[in-house]
């Protein structure tokens, strides 16, 4: 199998350029003003092979994949980019369920869920998610992003307030900004900061609602909030807590109940949302609540639900069968293997001198130091057979980078040891290359 060709080391100017420079567009022509982004950011990075995006995967989502890049080079390697944490997209029973749904219902729901887009499969999925979350009323969405956005815009109005964790997902940030101008940012996982924001709001406004938004497991840091304390704080100030469980539901906790189950908060949270793109082998998402009235209201007034085509029968079938596996003994065994893989990989990286933040989960964040080092190290690592997700600003601090390494339950432990060696060697090699560039300059 061919590996990507090795171009010359790119100049420092290419390694240093940041996409945020191009975020604020100026100029009268809406289309032409995008050109500098292409000429000054995208194309130079593509030319020098330090633009690790849009990888094409040729085959199943699995720990070992064949991929090709935008320049056409193809190679086989160990992948750390998949979010199919329990490997259920490869499970024969999930594929059989999708095939049966295709035969019975076809590939398309054909309508909005508020009109005639609901199938028996989506109704069964709602019931399965209610049992998994301990929240009896579930509203389905065509994507996880739509669920996060809709969870906020469906309930929050312009006079209301939203308190966001500073590292909340983009869909939650977008939903908050779309719903109200009154958005406060709390320090990451700092419940004292949330309390301070709530007290400040309630000191001047006791008439309007407040939604506090957090996540069960943060995808960039692999860390979690104290949900019990946070829920208590919210109730103290008559605020509602929304928890995004996209990355932990199914992958963590007893019976796959995520951090809610781990922390004894199963069925006790105000609102829960999740995505099917992590442990449920498809696209789609949901919002779960203990209130029938809230679910009824959201179905009518959440535009990303009402005005979207319903979850397809194929999506519903896949997610439903995955929910069954997640709550079975098989799901428990896969979670155990995933945890063991996480422990093993974290230890392997730590033994090589790397600080790995967060807690035991499918997400293993590895600090690359500078943005320049991350870009070079990613290219070097791919030359040696890894497929990596390089994360840059604004997902991490400006000028820094990290590898968000995502595990699957059946990653081979020997591959993880090899990957730890490669990451270590390539980060060191990148630092040497940058030093040489700076000296030459």
| Concatenated DSSP letters of 38-77 | IIIIIHHHHHTT-----PEE-S-SSSEEEEE-TTS-EEEE
| pLDDT at residue number 144 | 97
Q: How confident is the model at residue 9 (pLDDT cuts 50, 70, 90)?
A: confident
pLDDT higher at 4 or 389: 389
| pLDDT at residue number 285 | 98
* C-alpha distance from residue 401 to each of 299, 372, 392, 407, 436 (Å): 40, 8, 5, 19, 20
pLDDT higher at 99 or 69: 99
| pLDDT at residue number 29 | 95
What are 312-349's pLDDT values in tens digits?
999 999 999 999 999 999 999 999 999 999 999 999 99
Residue the block writes with tokens 């109704």:
123
**What does the pLDDT average to over 19-41?**
92
For the record, the structure tokens of 31 come out as: 């289309």
What are 153-210's pLDDT values in tens digits?
999 999 999 999 999 999 999 999 999 999 999 999 999 999 999 999 999 999 999 9
Q: How confident is the model at residue 4 (pLDDT cuts 50, 70, 90)?
A: very low
Q: How confident is the model at residue 436 (pLDDT cuts 50, 70, 90)?
A: confident
Model confidence at 7: pLDDT above 70: no
CA-based nearest residue to 379, from 38, 21, 57, 71 = 71
CA-based nearest residue to 14, from 383, 379, 404, 428 = 379
Dist. CA 72–CA 275, nearest whole Å: 32
Contact (Cβ atoms closer than 8 angstroms) between residue 337 and residue 409? yes
What are 381-432's pLDDT values in tens digits?
999 999 999 999 888 888 899 999 999 999 999 999 999 999 999 999 999 9
Model confidence at 5: pLDDT above 60: no
Mean pLDDT across the chain: 94
Q: Quick one: CA dihedral 387, 67, 76, 330, positive or negative? A: positive
- pTM as predicted: 0.94
| pLDDT at residue number 72 | 82
| pLDDT at residue number 437 | 83
| pLDDT at residue number 315 | 98
The β-bridge partners of 363 are 406
| pLDDT at residue number 6 | 45
CA-based nearest residue to 403, from 434, 375, 384, 361 = 375
Most confident of 2-16, 18-32, 277-291: 277-291
Dist. CA 197–CA 211, nearest whole Å: 11
Model confidence at 8: pLDDT above 80: no
| pLDDT at residue number 195 | 98
**Edge-to-edge strands of the sheet including 400-406?**
363-370, 400-406, 390-392
Alpha-carbon radius of gyration of the chain? 23
CB burial class (10 A; 0-12, 13-18, 19+) of residue 357? middle
For the record, the structure tokens of 197 come out as: 């924001």
| pLDDT at residue number 396 | 86
Residues 6+ positions from 366 with CB-CB distance below 8 Å: 349, 354, 356, 402, 403, 405, 423
Model confidence at 290: pLDDT above 80: yes
């Amino acid at each position: 199998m061919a590996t990507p060709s090795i171009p010359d080391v790119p100049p420092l100017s290419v390694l240093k350029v940041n996409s945020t420079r191009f975020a604020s567009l100026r100029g009268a022509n809406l289309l032409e003003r995008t050109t500098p982004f292409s000429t000054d950011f995208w194309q130079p990075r593509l030319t020098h092979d330090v633009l690790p995006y849009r990888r094409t995967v040729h085959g199943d989502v699995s720990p070992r994949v064949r991929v090709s890049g935008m320049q056409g080079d193809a190679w086989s390697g160990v992948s750390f980019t998949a979010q199919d944490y329990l490997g259920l997209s490869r499970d024969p029973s999930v594929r059989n369920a999708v095939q049966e749904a295709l035969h019975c219902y076809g590939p398309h729901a054909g309508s909005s869920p508020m009109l005639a887009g609901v199938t028996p499969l989506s109704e069964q999925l709602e019931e399965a998610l209610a049992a998994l979350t301990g929240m009896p009323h579930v509203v389905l969405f065509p994507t996880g992003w739509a669920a996060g956005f809709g969870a906020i815009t469906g309930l929050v109005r312009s006079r209301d307030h939203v308190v966001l964790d500073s590292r909340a997902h983009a869909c939650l940030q977008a939903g908050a900004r779309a719903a109200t101008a009154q958005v406060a940012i709390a320090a990451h996982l700092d419940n004292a900061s949330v309390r301070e924001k709530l007290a400040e709001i309630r000191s001047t406004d006791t008439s309007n609602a407040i939604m506090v938004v957090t996540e069960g497991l943060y995808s960039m840091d692999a860390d979690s909030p104290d949900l019990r304390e946070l829920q208590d704080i919210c109730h103290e100030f008559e605020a509602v807590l929304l928890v995004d469980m996209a990355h932990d539901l199914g992958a963590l906790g007893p019976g796959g109940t995520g951090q809610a189950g781990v922390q004894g908060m199963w069925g006790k949270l105000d609102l829960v949302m999740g995505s099917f793109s992590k442990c449920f082998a498809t696209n789609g998402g949901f919002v779960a609540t203990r209130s029938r009235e809230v679910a009824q209201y959201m179905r009518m007034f959440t535009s990303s639900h009402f005005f979207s085509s319903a979850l397809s029968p194929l999506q519903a079938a896949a997610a439903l069968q995955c929910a069954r596996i997640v709550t079975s003994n098989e799901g428990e065994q896969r979670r155990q293997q995933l945890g063991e893989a996480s422990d093993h990989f974290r230890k392997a990286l730590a033994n090589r001198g790397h600080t790995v933040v967060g807690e035991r989960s499918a997400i293993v964040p590895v600090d690359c130091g500078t943005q320049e080092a991350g870009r070079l190290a990613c290219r070097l690592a791919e030359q040696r057979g890894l497929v990596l997700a390089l994360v840059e600003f604004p997902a991490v601090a400006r000028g820094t980078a990290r590898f968000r390494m995502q595990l699957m339950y059946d990653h081979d432990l020997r591959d993880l040891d090899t990957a730890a060696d490669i990451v270590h060697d390539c980060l060191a090699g990148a630092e040497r290359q940058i030093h040489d560039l700076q000296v030459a300059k």
